[in-house]
Structure 1
Amino acid sequence: MTTEISDIAPEAESYEFRQRLSATPGGARLARRLAGVQLAAWGIPYGCALAEDAELVVGELAANAVLHGLVPGRDFELGLRYDGRRVLVEVSDARGEKTPPEGLAPAGRWSAEGGRGLQLVEAVAREWGVRPRPPGHPGKTVWACL
């Protein structure tokens, strides 16, 4: 199940945003804030369900990129695309060998201290997945379509 950017309504006018950010907790927080600002600029108002879900997904994927995808001295990249109906969120990091687990932790583990980020992504996204980055760009991209 792989959704590529080109699969997001190519016939419609679409908007795209890309930004490299430091692979730090501050960079992850900034990614979430930038997503909200960019979506508002595209006409998706703060506080609506789509904006809130997209910000949640960006926050979780960016936090995972910082926590699990960190390669010292390498940034992570946030990508957003909106075609008037759907938002595609992409977060790329430099660790291609470290991918999300095949099966998510059972729901009964909500009391655990961590490990719920991808469960939240799965709960709000229509679909999500992971793919390698293009040749010449080390790492992986975790994406979610809302």
Structure 2
Amino acid sequence: MFVQRFSATRRGARLARRLAVHRLDLWGVPYGSPASETVALVVAELAANAALHGCVPGRDFELRLSHDRAAGVVRVEVSDTHPGRPEPPEPGAQPPADAESGRGLLLVEAVATRWGVADRLGPGKTVWAECDFGQCQ
């Protein structure tokens, strides 16, 4: 298990992604492998959402990674203190081509095996996603 808090900034989101792929490498999932790249994308999107939409002044977000080797699953959890919960994208929905945002959860939905939103202890929520290595590699 890997747990780390980050500042709810772009820099914090970038650091979360970098530390996630480092942790995966320590767990035997090599840098640049399809599984590592997929988990990096999920962490990047969820951390960016926490920094942009889940930001509460003076509060951080938390990244939690777990790796179940036997099942071949990596679980990514990003918790923030904002009460707003993301809505699953509508089937077939696409943001306008010139939109600068609105694709993050579409990407997560496309590459993760499953994802969702859960309550957390204290204020806010946890957005989680699981990636089965069999589907990521």
Mark the CA change 1:51 to 1:110 in structure 2 (over 3 Å): closer, same or farther. Answer: farther
Which string of whole-angstrom CA distances, capped at 9 and with x for unpartnered residues, describes residues 54-86 of structure 1? 000000000000100011000000000001100
Instruction: Provide the identity percentage.
Output: 58
Partner residue in 1 for 2:114:
127
For this pair of structures, how many residues does the alignment match?
A: 128
Partner residue in 1 for 2:63:
78
Q: CA deviation at 1:108?
A: 6.2
Alignment of 1:23-34 (within 5 A): 23-34=8-19
Please give the TM-score of this superposition, normalised by the length of structure 1: 0.83
Mark the CA change 1:112 to 1:48 in structure 2 (over 3 Å): closer, same or farther. Answer: same
- Corresponding position: 1:114 with 2:101: yes
Point out where structure 2 has 5 or more consecutive residues left out of the alignment: 132-137
More strand by share: 2
SS of the residue aligned with 1:44?
coil
Which string of whole-angstrom CA distances, capped at 9 and with x for unpartnered residues, describes residues 18-42 of structure 1? 0001111100000000000000000
Partner residue in 2 for 1:103:
89
Please give the TM-score of this superposition, normalised by the length of structure 2: 0.89
Q: CA deviation at 1:111?
A: 3.9
Mark the CA change 1:60 to 1:132 in structure 2 (over 3 Å): closer, same or farther. Answer: same
Mark the CA change 1:101 to 1:110 in structure 2 (over 3 Å): closer, same or farther. Answer: farther
1:110 and 1:133 map into 2 onto residues whose CA distance is 35
Q: Answer yes or no: is the 8 Å Cα contact 2:4–2:62 preserved in 1.
A: yes
SS of the residue aligned with 1:28?
helix
Partner residue in 2 for 1:7:
none
Partner letter of residue 101 of structure 1? E
